Structure 1
Amino acid sequence: MKLIDNIQDWICSLALSLAIALFINIFLVQHMVVEGHSMDPTLHDHQHLIISKFSHSIKKMPDYGDIVTIDSRVSRERSLKDDLSEPITNLVNQQQYVFVKRVIGKPGDVLEFKDSQVYRNGTKLDESYILETMRVMVDQKITVPADSIFVMGDNRNNSMDSRMIGAVPLNHVLGVMVAKI
């Protein structure tokens, strides 16, 4: 009988520990590994990051310059089911649709791409963090929609970002980087 009680205690302890770990991973903080070179020179391929998920949990708008993780599938709706299942599937294989990018624009901002520079609301951005001068094929002007952000990689010439996928809805912003490991 004592052995059965001990086994039950262990199972309860393990189940509680797993539930706490999942809660932390879903709603508070998450480990992530950078894949690719779109954020060079700021972040490097295979670099480990700590992501705060708290801002996603409370739907807080990130600040300009924040490095965020996003769900790049912007044309589909996200649900609580996505938030609950991703930490488990990420244990097996990091999702290819989760990107790491920098916040360039917020709702209502007018972004212009001209002369190899980015202008926000008529002011040229000071972007000392970018890898090289951005190649701009055609001058462009974009207004960031409500409840969305515009993100770009620091390696502008080799980044799949809002210039290609479009503005990122706020509920597709999965978290904000708080530390590099």
Structure 2
Amino acid sequence: MNNQLAKEIKEWIICIIVAGAIAFLIKGYVFDIIQVSGTSMVPTLHDSDRVAVEKISLYNDNLKHGEIIIFDPGSKGRGIYIKRIIGLPGDEVEISDGCVYVNGKKLVEDYLKPGTFTEGDQKLKVPNDSIFVLGDNREVSEDSRYIGPIPIKNIKGHAILRVFPFNQIRKF
């Protein structure tokens, strides 16, 4: 009986270690839940919302206009930022008279509050290794207008689902 109990305890310990290793790998390299801090993505995301972030597809270089991502701003900021991709590598982004243009076409940004004015008149070509991001709450967002294009290598994942608050679960 003692041998049987020891064998069973050993099996449980191995199962717990394997499950912990799998969870660590999934959280670290595949999937994560982040908490939004601040109001730069209102009305899409609010302070303290929880967002599911997928990390695997970043390695396939399949970033898209309008996609919400998380990234490390490097020495230009602090913490992890969450913003929307406006310009991809090689795109020409222009902000003029409160509107955003990509490759000469005015963006239709139905995710913004009506009447949103985008400050910071500028025009730039996004470098081949970078993206241009903006927050949805343009009045308070610290984004590419101020910190410049974001190196693709700094992207940590893209938002796939708001998971909290539960009454506002939404796929992105």
CA contact under 8 A between 2:95 and 2:118: conserved in structure 1? no
1:81-131 deviation per Cα after TM superposition (whole angstroms, max 9, x unaligned): xxxxxxxxxxxxxxx511111000001111111101111111111112123
Q: What TM-score, normalized to structure 1? A: 0.81
The alignment partner of 1:157 has SS state of: coil
Q: Structure 1: which 5+ runs fail to align?
A: 76-95
Residue of structure 2 equivalent to 1:43: 45
2:19 alignment partner AA: S
Residue of structure 2 equivalent to 1:121: 103
Residue of structure 2 equivalent to 1:19: 21
Q: 1:142 aligns with which of 124, 128, 151?
A: 124
Q: 2:34 aligns with which of 32, 44, 62?
A: 32
CA change 1:74–1:65 in 2 (3 A) is farther
Work out the CA distance in 1 between the residues paired with 2:147 and 2:62.
19
**1:155 and 2:157 are equivalent in the alignment:** no
The alignment partner of 2:157 has SS state of: strand
**1:101 and 2:83 are equivalent in the alignment:** yes
Work out the CA distance in 2 between the residues paired with 1:136 and 1:156.
8
Residue of structure 2 equivalent to 1:67: 68
2:116 alignment partner AA: T
1:176 alignment partner AA: H
Residue of structure 2 equivalent to 1:9: 11
CA contact under 8 A between 1:74 and 1:172: conserved in structure 2? no
CA contact under 8 A between 2:100 and 2:118: conserved in structure 1? no
Residue of structure 1 equivalent to 2:168: none
Q: What TM-score, normalized to structure 2? A: 0.84
1:148 alignment partner AA: S
**1:167 and 2:149 are equivalent in the alignment:** yes
Work out the CA distance in 2 between the residues paired with 1:7 and 1:134.
63
Residue of structure 1 equivalent to 2:167: none
Work out the CA distance in 1 between the residues paired with 2:149 and 2:62.
14
Work out the CA distance in 2 between the residues paired with 1:64 and 1:164.
19
The alignment partner of 1:133 has SS state of: coil
The runs of 4+ residues in structure 1 deviating greater than 4 Å are: none
Q: Structure 2: which 5+ runs fail to align?
A: 164-172
Residue of structure 2 equivalent to 1:81: none
2:55 alignment partner AA: K
Paired residue total: 159
Higher relative contact order (CA 8 A, sep 6+): 1
